Structure 1
Amino acid sequence: MFGRKPAPFKPYAFGAKPKRKFPRWPILLVIGIVLGGAAVLLVQEEYLPPRLSPQESARLTETNSQLNLALQQTRNELEQAREALARQQAESVALAEELETARAELQPLQDDLALLKDVLPPDPRGGALQIRAGRFLNEGSGLDYHIVLTRQQVGKPFKGAVQFVVEGRYPSGRPGNVTLGPIPLEMGDYRNVHGSAPLPDGMQARQITVRVLDGGERMQAMRVINSRN
């Protein structure tokens, strides 16, 4: 119609069959799988930790079990420590209550002691540290003693010693003097010193000189007291 001739019709039966191209995607898929597997192997070999052997895996499992057991033991010990702390706190509260009760019971005794210090006659020699009273008894081969000391200036506790110089007679009638060993002393404003000291060779005390010495062995108080028997 426009001057172009239509192409002649050629059926397949009389002409060449057209060629079909093989699709490329299966090839690309295979190549991708191969490259991916190679990449995984490369990463495992070069960058990831080596895979554990069965023996190493068993040891790791055993170590993990031991750690879990140790953790449980630690938790148990922590719980026991908490319980012990709770008991100690309860005991502390009970002790505080007992201490308060003891203080309340001690107050009347402190009042009596203050009255006793006022009633006792003063040391004839006076001084900051005084020997307010004393009693000595011959008992067997020893000397029982009881003296009362008071101190007016209360700051630091007084530390020193009490020493007895004993004048008496031996069983033969011979008079004698003996200085007994010092008795350690530490006191605030009041102190009872009592006990028993041996006398040599059956000596019977008649008169005792009481000396109170400080830490430098300087005499701070002295009083002469007769034995009662």
Structure 2
Amino acid sequence: MLGSSKRHVFKPTAYGSTRSRRRIPRWLVLMFTGVVLGSGGLLFLQKSYGPIRLTVEQSEQLHYDLNSVNMDKQRLQSQLNQQTRDLTETRANLQAQAVELRKAKEEAAKLTSDLQLFVDAMPPDPRGTSPGIRAASFEAKDGQLDYLILVMQDQGKTDTFTGQAELNVAGRYANGKSGHIDLPAFKVELQRYTHLGGSLPLPEGFTPRQVTIKIMREGSEKTVATRTIRVPR
């Protein structure tokens, strides 16, 4: 019995194996499941609601459009700056013109006041008519008769007068003969006073010596004012 070499074979008991099998921990399974679900949800969200991934062509087109927008922005900004400068310059010019206009009005008012003094100081028409021919001057030059006539109405008689003036010129022709010519009539209109100025053609070779001015009321041939003025040689 002491020398027996047989090994005793282990037999499981009636209650099964005495060593239990190893199982994956429940917490590890739950963690792995959570990782899988989380990764899948993230991919779903990125695909459904995340930014769209662009292709190479779309990316190049986007860069091109962005550069075009930047160029347009720079161009519009440049135009805006130029228009701002133009507006500033225009405002400055308008302010300068307003100052000049104010000065011109002040000077015109002063000149009007000064002119009124001269008007009041002008000697009356020798014939005492109103309107009357207060002053006149004539000059023969280059076949033309230049004239400047001051016609005035008396103070307080400033109803608008409308009529016409005629010039009868006495002179000498180139052959030595004397003669009279009537130049074309021209319109006269005034309240207190007016200057009549201009040029009228003379016959060829005719040298004027004196001019008789006649003023008639519109629609009438009656002379209301007349005066004779010598023409300087």
TM-score when normalising by structure 1: 0.63
Paired amino acid for 2:203: P
Q: What residue is the counterpart of 1:210 in the other structure?
A: 214
Residue aligned with 2:158, SS:
coil
Higher Cα Rg, which structure: 2
In the alignment, is residue 153 of structure 1 matched against residue 186 of structure 2? no
Tell me, which stretches of 5 or more residues in structure 1 are unaligned?
A: 1-11
Q: 1:171 to 1:146 in 2, by over 3 A?
A: same
Q: 1:218 to 1:29 in 2, by over 3 A?
A: farther
In the alignment, is residue 57 of structure 1 matched against residue 62 of structure 2? yes
Whole-Å separation in 1 of the counterparts to 2:222 and 2:34:
115
Q: What residue is the counterpart of 1:198 in the other structure?
A: 201
Whole-Å separation in 1 of the counterparts to 2:53 and 2:214:
90
Tell me, which stretches of 5 or more residues in structure 2 are unaligned?
A: 1-15
Q: 1:218 to 1:140 in 2, by over 3 A?
A: same
Offset, 1:202? 2.6
Offset, 1:17? 3.6
Say whether the 8 Å CA contact 2:170–2:179 is kept in structure 1. yes
Alignment of 1:34-73 (within 5 A): 34-43=40-49, 53-73=58-78
Q: What residue is the counterpart of 1:224 in the other structure?
A: 226
> Paired residue for 2:33, among 24, 27, 31?
27
TM-score when normalising by structure 2: 0.62
Alignment of 1:31-180 (within 5 A): 31-43=37-49, 53-81=58-86, 83-85=88-90, 87-88=92-93, 90-92=95-97, 94-96=99-101, 98-99=103-104, 102-103=107-108, 106=111, 109-117=114-122, 119-121=123-125, 124-126=128-130, 129-136=131-138, 141-151=143-153, 152-153=157-158, 162-166=165-169, 170-172=173-175, 173=177, 175-180=179-184
| Residue-by-residue CA offset, 1:120-179 (whole Å, 9 max, x unaligned) | 2376443xx443333445567443433111244267xx7876443445554452644333
Q: RMSD across aligned C-alpha pairs, in angstroms?
A: 4.4
Q: 1:54 to 1:150 in 2, by over 3 A?
A: same
Q: 1:76 to 1:185 in 2, by over 3 A?
A: farther
Say whether the 8 Å CA contact 1:133–1:149 is kept in structure 2. yes
Say whether the 8 Å CA contact 1:166–1:180 is kept in structure 2. no
Q: How many residues align?
A: 210
The sequence identity of aligned pairs, in percent, is 15
